Amino acid sequence: MGWFSRQMERSKQHAEEHRLDAHFEGWRIMGDKFIGTESQRLRKWPVSGVHAEVISGQKDEGMSLAAVAAGGMLFGPVGAIIGGMGKYDRTRCYLVIQLPDGKVVSDDFPAAKYGELVAFVAQVNAAAASFANRG
């Protein structure tokens, strides 16, 4: 195999590995890595173990055990945390991410960015599923 053929093969492989790349504000998918902030520090995790959800703001009067239990039953650990978040602001939307190590991080954005955030979350979950299936 000549130099040109090797370069073409590498280019195809790179394109395949990065076809699901996406970014939203400070969060990013690059190949098989999910990049974001945790405790004010830039961190990288394997995208295959990440699960993301988006919540639109709504008014609640506080955390209730029923909300935590319902969220946990419907969506697992991430749902329990979302259910327990209590008050939401209608002018904000929330990104909730369960990391491969089980930690959950969240970030909030103006409600006007809800559509972009939903698209990003779909891309994160698609990349996670794609890389999980590769082994």
pLDDT of amino acid 48:
92
Count: domains in the chain? 1
Domain extent for 10? 3-133
Mean local confidence (pLDDT), 105-124: 92
Confidence of residue 52 (pLDDT cuts 50, 70, 90): very high
26 has a pLDDT exceeding 70: yes
Question: Starting at the edge strand that comes first in sequence, how are the strands of the sheet with 41-46 ordered?
Answer: 22-24, 27-30, 33-38, 41-46
Query: What is 23-74 written as a DSSP string?
Result: EETTEEEETTEEEEEETTEEEEEEGGG-EEEEEE----SS--HHHHHHHHHH
Tell whether the model's pLDDT for residue 64 goes beyond 60.
no
**What's the predicted TM-score (pTM) here?**
0.71
pLDDT at residue number 91:
84
Q: What is the CATH number of the domain that holds 103?
A: 2.30.29
Q: In what order do the strands lie in the sheet with 104-110?
A: 51-56, 92-98, 104-110
